[in-house]
Each structure stands twice: as C-alpha cells, then as structure tokens.
Amino acid sequence: MTNRDRETAGVILALASLGKIGPIKIKMMLAQARHPAEILGWDIGRLQSIPGIGAELADRIKNNLDLDYGNRVVAWAGEKGYQVITFADADYPPPLRELYDPPPFLFVKGTLEIGDYRAVAMVGSRNATEYGKTTAAQLAAELSRHGITVISGMAVGIDAACHRGALSGGGRTIAVLGSGIDVIYPRENKTLYGQIAEHGAVISEFLPGTDPNPGHFPRRNRLIAGLAQAVVVVEAGEKSGALLTADMALAYGKKLFALPGNVTSRLSSGTNELIKSGANILTSIDDIFSVLPGMRNDYIAPQKTVAVDLTEGEQLIFGHLSAAPVQLDTLMRECRLTVSDAASYLLSLELRGLVKQLSGKRFIAV
C-alpha cells in the first residue's frame, strides 16, 4: 500500500467511524472530491451541499472527524496481515461498484482475484439437514472444479458446507462476514476461516472489533448477492435470512436458483416457495450453465477412482463417497451398517488409498 493509498484509507475509515454517515453519503462525497483528503478542507456549507448531510452532521464531520483513528486502523491492518481496499482504489471489486450502497471500504484476509468475479453465491439454513449440507458441498465442489468461485457467509450449516465443498474441489471461495474481520463468527469456524483465507478471501465491511449483531447480516447478505453472478438457495425455512439474500439477488438482476426439497420439511418450505415464485430449479450445476452458458468452461469432470477387488461391504461404502465430505453417521444410515462394520470397511479403503478421513469423522473418496 502506497502512502497515498494509506492516506485515502485513513480518511475513509475516519468518515465511516463518525456515525450517522453510511455508504451512500460517503459514496456521494467521494464522487465530488478529486481525492478523499480534499474532503478534510471542505467548509460547513460545502459539506451541506451533499444530499442527506444537514447542519449537525456537517458540523460533526468538520469538527469531530478523528483522522488519527483512521490512520491507526490502517497501520493495525498492515501489522495483522489484512488488506484495506477502499471505494477509491482501482482494485475495488467491480461488481460492488454497481451497488446503490457499496461499502466504502473492505477489510480482506487473503486475496481477491479477477477470476473471483466469475462466481456463484450459495446460502441456506444454519439448522441444515444432512441432505442439505451434503448436497451443498457436492454442488460447491463441482462449481469449484469448473473454476467458479463459491461465495457464502461462513455461518454454520449450509454456508460452512459450501465453503468446505469448494475447498475440497481445489478451487477458491470467499466468505463475507457480518462482523469485523478480526471477529471470527461462529468461533467453531476458526479453522475454516484460515482455510478460506489461504484459498480465497475472507472480507468484511465492518470496522475491527465489530460484533456480529443481527442487524449486520442483511448488510452482509447484500455483498454476497452483489459479488456473484448467480445465487443458489439450498435450504431455507419461511423466515430464513437466506431468503433476504434471494430478494437482493433479484433486486440486483442476478440469476436465482433454488434446490427443491421435501414438501413436508420446514427447511424446504422457503426454497420450494422460491421455485413456485419463479426461481430456477437446481438439481445439478448443468442447470446453472443452461441459464448462464458463459460460466461453463472446457472442464471435464475427473472419473471416480476405479476400485477393484473390493468386498461387497467396501463397494457399498465406496459407492456412497465422493469429493464432498460425508459424516460417518450418514454413511451408516444410508448403507444400513453398524458402527463396527462401517469403521472396518472405511479403514480398509483408507489403507488402500481410496478414502481419506477428515476431521469430525467425515470421509471423502480420493
């Protein structure tokens, strides 16, 4: 970051920390300034010429702006290994510039690449079913193998399954937080946070130390929808926050997809209603490519390892595994096996290099 970039970031962060001056006002101020530092020299009258800035707010900007705070945050970010990207920077994400209320700044852990804007967002319920999490991971892994970046919100349930699926597919994934970049929420996703930053990016539009308050998640959801070309809702109840992301996707002109579910399941009521209302039905990633053919590339899916000389039980287990992690309990239920039999077959497959065990008693085919 150059000195000029640091100066820009310091001014914008100071403005954002002042309170009662949101993204829209800052966007309008930046549009009328040759450089953000120019705003520091504006008088009360000039500040009041910006729509929405009255006498009280203009006075606060003129007399209470804490530029030292903004500069300290920029220095802190550099020390902690975070990037600060502002609306005034050339590398600000192009899809977010098109929003009515683009975030004035982003904290980034990891890297944002041009290819990341060839992206699909995947969202769903925190209290997801095993079917939902497994399907989400499988779809994300397939998208990842096609070079498509998977975007989600790093929440438990569907979000985490999508990120893990994308990582298992060897591709990139972006997590958008509803808290400060240094506040990992939920805490159990600390390891996932690091994995995402290593193979993509974790981003936040909130100042450091900001807690994950409920009001922050609608703001987070608009970025999830805004960054992607399409939004996929995997599982959602009638009042799920994922449905807010779906609404934002439609408002932004993005393509909306929903995974059909059991009509008796409350976690499928939201997605089934989306389909009834006109969302594209999603049963495989080919459904995405039929609507957005430009997202398809020349990728050819790898063939599953040919397993020979397996016992009947080993074949049964292996046939239920893929690149998407599957819980031991799920394998036992789907294969109708006891704990000891399932563990024995899995160990045999693992010793032959056909299966890999992940944390939390999850397994994938290799």
**pLDDT tens, position by position, for the chain (366 residues)?**
787 889 999 999 999 999 889 999 999 999 999 999 999 999 999 999 999 999 999 999 999 999 999 999 999 999 999 999 999 999 999 999 999 999 999 999 999 999 999 999 999 999 888 889 989 999 999 999 999 999 999 999 999 999 999 998 899 999 999 999 999 999 999 999 999 999 999 999 999 999 999 999 999 999 999 999 999 999 988 777 888 899 999 999 999 999 998 887 888 899 999 999 999 999 999 999 999 998 887 554 544 555 567 888 888 998 888 767 788 999 999 999 999 999 999 998 888 888 888 878 888 887
- Residues in Cβ contact with 85 at an 8 Å cutoff, skipping those fewer than 6 apart: 91, 92, 93, 105, 106, 108, 112
Task: Report if residue 96 sits inside a domain.
Answer: no
Task: Please report the beta strands in the chain, taking only residues with DSSP state E, as ranges in sequence order.
Answer: 83-86, 105-110, 119-123, 149-152, 173-176, 200-204, 230-233, 255-258, 280-281, 326-327, 355-358, 362-365
Shared domain for 47 and 149, answered yes or no, is no
Q: Are 137 and 257 found together in one domain?
A: yes
pLDDT of residue 323: 65
Cα 102 to Cα 94, 121, 138, 202, 253: the distances in Å are 10, 18, 32, 17, 16
- The pLDDT assigned to 5 comes to 87
CB proximity list for 281: less than 8 A, separation 6 or greater: 257, 258, 260, 275, 287
CATH of the domain at 345: 1.10.10.10
303 inside domain = no
Q: Are residues 218 and 243 in the same domain?
A: yes
- Domain contains 228: yes
Distance CA(229)–CA(234), nearest Å, equals 16
Long-range contacts of 92-98 (CB under 8 A, 24+ apart): 93/117, 93/227, 95/226, 95/227, 95/228, 96/223, 96/226, 96/227, 98/226, 98/252
Residue 365 CB contacts under 8 Å (≥ 6 apart), including other chains: 304, 305, 318, 321, 322, 323, 354, 355
Give domain status of residue 65, yes or no. yes
Q: Let me know whether 160 and 235 are in one domain.
A: yes
- CA atoms in the 13 A half-sphere facing the CB of 81: 9
Report the half-sphere exposure of 151 (CA within 13 A, side-chain side): 26
Who contacts 241 (Cβ-Cβ below 8 Å, separation ≥6)? 123, 217, 218, 221
Tell me, what's the pLDDT at 26? Answer: 96
Does 306 map to a domain?
Answer: no
Is residue 173 domain-shared with residue 223, that is, in the same domain?
Answer: yes
Of 295, 324, 349, the domain-final residue: 295
pLDDT at 300: 47
Which CATH number is 151's domain given?
3.40.50.450
The pTM assigned to this predicted structure is 0.82
Q: 182-209: buried (b, 16+ CB within 10 Å) or exposed (e) per residue? A: bbbbeeebeebbebbbebbbbbbbbbbe
Same domain, yes or no: 59 and 127: no
Residue 196 lies in a domain: yes
Q: Are residues 357 and 250 in the same domain?
A: no
Indicate whether 211 and 354 sit together in one domain: no
Domain that holds residue 25: 3-79
Q: Are residues 39 and 168 both part of a single domain?
A: no
**Pair (161, 251) in one structural domain:** yes
Q: Confirm whether 307 is domain-assigned.
A: no
Instruction: Indicate the residue among 269, 295, 321 that finishes a domain.
Output: 295
Peptide bond into 302 cis (omega under 30): no
Q: Are residues 241 and 160 in the same domain?
A: yes
Please enumerate in sequence order all residues whose Cβ is within 8 A of that of 59, keeping only pairs 6 or more positions apart, or say none.
44
Number of domains within the chain: 3
Q: Is residue 137 assigned to a domain?
A: yes
159 & 125 share domain = yes
CATH number, domain containing residue 75: 1.10.150
The one-letter amino acid code at 106 reads L
